[in-house]
Structure 1
Amino acid sequence: MFTGIVEERGEITARDDLTEAARFRIRGALVTSDASFGDSIAVNGVCLTVTELADDEFTVDVMAETLKRSSLDRLGAGATVNLERAMAAGGRFGGHIVQGHVDGVGEIRAVSPSENWTVARVAVPAHLARYVVEKGSITIDGISLTVSAVGVDREYGDWLEVSLIPTTLAETNLGDAAPGVRVNLEVDVIAKYVERLTGAGRTANADVEGSEPNE
């Protein structure tokens, strides 16, 4: 489990495309400082397993299903990624419950900077919009954020807005965000469990292709 508090910005140093998979080598001095083979590290919000370690780099294998459901398929050597180690049992809970299971990919539609913060508007896939509420939690590229506004219009369809403070802009890849950039979205897992338990989502989920959770 993760909390959506990004620990460092890493860099993809190599990508190898395999049969129905891809292998990434990623530089991240902090997250590798105490990492071991088999540990979980969230890369842009995707929970991945460490398969190799060398100096300050680690290697992960990403299966085709995960590539299809996330924005990792578009990344290659030189790309900057948000990194977070799995939460320690006695650690401080700083964000919200993040599983590292991406629910869908959104697209940044607008970035509006101001003196003290920046507002980013993100298009949300229609089947995820029902889980997004104003003042609720959302994970964008592995970052725990508070939804500041939601809406729908002809241009964007369903959208949400988040307000990004200078620290978030400086310490995560959202500082480089621009319209057209695709981002990984993970909605609040509690909302999904409530929907399942009440039976409200059974019909809706049956109509969504690939609605089963990813790795």
Structure 2
Amino acid sequence: MFTGLIEEIGQLLQIQKSSSITRVSIAAKKVLEDTKIGDSIAVNGVCLTVCKLNSTGFEAELMPETSAKTQFATYTNRRTLNLERALRADSRIGGHIVSGHVDTAGVIEKISTQGQGKSQAYILQISVNSTGLIVPKGSIALDGVSLTVIAVNLSSSKTSFSVGIIPHTWENTILQTYKVGTKVNLEFDIQGKYQLASAKNTSQNLNLDQLKSWGY
């Protein structure tokens, strides 16, 4: 589990793709502290297991399912990456619970700014196919960054939503590199996913006796 608070920006040194597995080598510094083989690190919101480790970076492997569900298949060497170590049980959760299991991809439709100077905020508008899992004031992970949804526009074919980004987040994540058309990894709020699944199961079994047991 992660919090969506990025610890540092790393760099993809090498990516080796094959039909069975993808291997990546990533340059990092801060996330290497206290990290050992077998630990998890979120890379652009994707939970990866550290397979090799040295003083300047680490290596990890991706299953075909991970490559297919994420944007890793499009990555090339020297690309910058958001990095975060796994959450410790004694840590504060400053963002929201992020599993590191990407749900889908989003596309940046618009980038705008509000305010001036240090108070400037960045607004991203993103299109994505969703199933009602994005709600105003809810949480979403964008390439591993925990963000709050500002507004949601629904249509029959897609969902468009916007998020606000404070200068600190903009300057300390790869969000600063985004352009219109950039594809990003999205993970919906895990609480929302479980609640939606529970609601679907409940509605299928809903009857008068069930309502009475709930006090209706």
TM-score by length of 1: 0.88
Query: Which residue in 1 is equivalent to 2:21?
Result: 21
Spell out the pairing of 1:18-167 with structure 2 (5 A cutoff): 18-114=18-114, 115=116, 116-125=120-129, 128-152=130-154, 157-167=158-168
Q: How far is 1:102 from its partner?
A: 0.4
| Structure 2: gaps of 5 or more residues | 205-216
Q: Is the 8 A contact 1:196 1:202 kept in 2?
A: no
Structure 1 gaps of 5+ residues are 204-215
Amino acid aligned to 1:192 = K
Q: How far does residue 201 in structure 1 lie from its aligned partner after superposition?
A: 9.6
Once structures 1 and 2 are overlaid, which stretch shifts more, 27-36 or 17-26?
A: 17-26
- C-alpha displacement of 1:18: 2.7
Q: Equivalent residue of 1:61, what SS? A: strand
Inter-partner Cα distance in structure 2 for 1:12 and 1:40:
17
SS across alignment from 1:68 = helix
Distance apart, 1:153 and its partner CA: 5.7
CA positional deviation for 1:202: 9.5
> Secondary structure at the residue paired with 1:183?
strand
The CA deviation string for residues 1-55 of structure 1, in whole angstroms up to 9 with x for no partner, is 1010000010001111233221100011000122100000000000000000011
Structure-2 separation of matches of 1:112 and 1:129: 26
CA–CA distance in structure 2, aligned partners of residues 201 and 180 of structure 1: 39
| Alpha-carbon displacement from aligned partner over 1:133-157 (angstroms, at most 9, x marks no partner) | 0000000000000001111369x93
**Letter of the structure 1 residue corresponding to residue 138 of structure 2:** G
Q: Distance in 1 between matches of 2:122 and 2:203?
A: 37
CA contact (8 A) 1:98 1:139 kept: yes
* Corresponding residue of 1:212: none
Q: Is residue 2:189 matched to residue 1:188?
A: yes
Map Cα deviations across residues 111-165 of structure 1 (whole Å, 9 max, x no partner).
Answer: 012321111001111xx240100000000000000001111369x9311100111
**Given residue 124 of structure 2, which amino acid in structure 1 is its aligned partner?**
A
* Separation of aligned partners in 1, 2:203 and 2:110: 33
CA contact (8 A) 1:195 1:201 kept: no
SS in 2 for 1:18: coil
Specify the code of the residue in structure 1 equivalent to 2:123: V
Letter in 2 for 1:170: E
SS at match of 2:31: coil
SS in 2 for 1:131: coil
Q: Which has the larger radius of gyration?
A: 2
> How far 1:199 moved relative to its partner?
2.0
Q: How many residues align?
A: 200
TM-score (norm 2): 0.88
Q: Cα 1:201–1:29, aligned 2, differ >3 Å: closer, same or farther?
A: farther
* Residue aligning to 2:210: none
- d(CA) in 1 for partners of 2:101, 2:127: 19
RMSD value, Cα: 1.8
